[in-house]
Amino acid sequence: MSCIASDSSFYTGKICLAPMVRAGRTPLRVLSLDYGADLVYTEEIVDQKLLSATRKENHILGTIDYCIEDDVVLRIASERERGKVVLQIGTNNGESAAKVAAMVGTDVAAIDVNMGCPKPFSIQGGMGAALLTQTDRVKEILSSLVATSQVPVSCKIRVLDDPSSTIALAQFIERTGVAAMGVHGRRRSERPGDSNREEEIREVVRAVGIPVIANGGSTEMETHEELLAFRERTGASSVMVARKALSNPSIFRKEGIYSMDTEIKNFLQRACEWDENYTMTKYVVQRMLGGEQEHDPRGKATVQAGSVVEICRAWEMEDKYEECRAARQSKRGDRVEKDET
């Protein structure tokens, strides 16, 4: 068993951006760190997808990119995210999970396995919440990751229908040697609107020795203090936030939350800086807008926008977009010159 993979101190006392497909990419992760998050999870990436990607050092952006042709599957801001980015994978077997660990090495600060996603795509593929009832698979996946990973390993579960089964599962997971575990206090059949089972998270905290990262509290928090209060109620060492951090990433700011306007502009600034694509940029801005998409003229313009520059224009951020594009172009020119001399 590798000591690094089981290093619980990495996950102790942390406030985290939870994994979110389409949203948990470089711009939102960097913004969350800038606001005060300690750790940031990537969106879930299925093992086979990552294994078919090619690793490239992007000297223009200062990132490490894993790409499938033009599609950036994973982009890590080398300096800004060093020691803070947790790669979340979707997997149904130990061999592929271990291959991912070997592939990413120390490009990421930790690796997490998604064991909570209830979507048909995950369940049918034997991933996500399908693993909650397959302890042999859980053991195989986590043990192979713990044996091969050069960084701490964790997993993220949901609570089971019977609280005593959740505890048995959590203790079983702990014995695989993982460093920590995220616990979302909703059952597989429950929806985001159902209330979060904080007491069941608390019972897991009492039953295991490794740090628990409490999750599921977004609907109960409007301020940073309420985020901390959620952690307090569960007794967990750490906490991870998804939906609230998507609509209001400044939930991570001790100094207070920002208005929607500022959130969107600050996000767009990072989207320009990290050269995020149109689909992902638009998705996050729309989530920040929520119901304002129909009322705010900038919201309507965002919905109609067909490119990142058009989204930026709607928010009077076109200059920032152009500035970042020009900076990249000039760096590209410099590199061509360097390569030729």
Q: What is the set of active-site residues?
A: 117
C-alpha to C-alpha distance for 215 and 151, rounded to whole angstroms: 22
Which amino acid appears at position 320 of this protein? K
Q: Coil, strand or helix: which one is 77?
A: strand
88 touching ligand FNR, by CB under 6 A: yes
| Cβ at position 256, least distance to ligand FNR in Å | 19
Which amino acid appears at position 98 of this protein? A
DSSP states along 111-148: EEEEE---SHHHHHTT-GGGGGG-HHHHHHHHHHHHHH
Q: Among 169, 175, 115, 178, which Cα is nearest to 146's?
A: 178
User: How many residues bind ligand FNR, per CB under 6 A?
Assistant: 22
Binding test (CB under 6 A) with ligand FNR, winner from 27, 116, 211, 249: 116
C-alpha to C-alpha distance for 46 and 117, rounded to whole angstroms: 12
C-alpha to C-alpha distance for 202 and 231, rounded to whole angstroms: 10
Window 197 to 216, contacts with ligand FNR (CB under 6 A): 215-216
299 touching ligand FNR, by CB under 6 A: no
Nearer to ligand FNR, 251 or 324 (CB): 251
Nearer to ligand FNR, 200 or 317 (CB): 200
Window 135 to 164, contacts with ligand FNR (CB under 6 A): 156
Binding test (CB under 6 A) with ligand FNR, winner from 5, 16, 17, 23: 23
249 touching ligand FNR, by CB under 6 A: no
| Cβ at position 214, least distance to ligand FNR in Å | 10
Nearer to ligand FNR, 109 or 324 (CB): 109
Nearer to ligand FNR, 27 or 321 (CB): 27
Kindly state the tokens that stand for 20: 């979110």
Residue 58 phi/psi, 5° resolution?
-95, 100
Total H helices, total E strands in the chain? 15, 12
| Cβ at position 333, least distance to ligand FNR in Å | 37
Residues sharing a CB contact under 8 Å with residue 148, sequence separation 6 or more, in sequence order: 2, 98, 101, 102
Q: Among 137, 203, 127, which Cα is nearest to 170's?
A: 203
Nearer to ligand FNR, 178 or 317 (CB): 178
Chain residues binding ligand FNR by CB under 6 A are 18-21, 23, 43-44, 88, 114, 116-117, 156, 184, 192, 215-218, 241-244
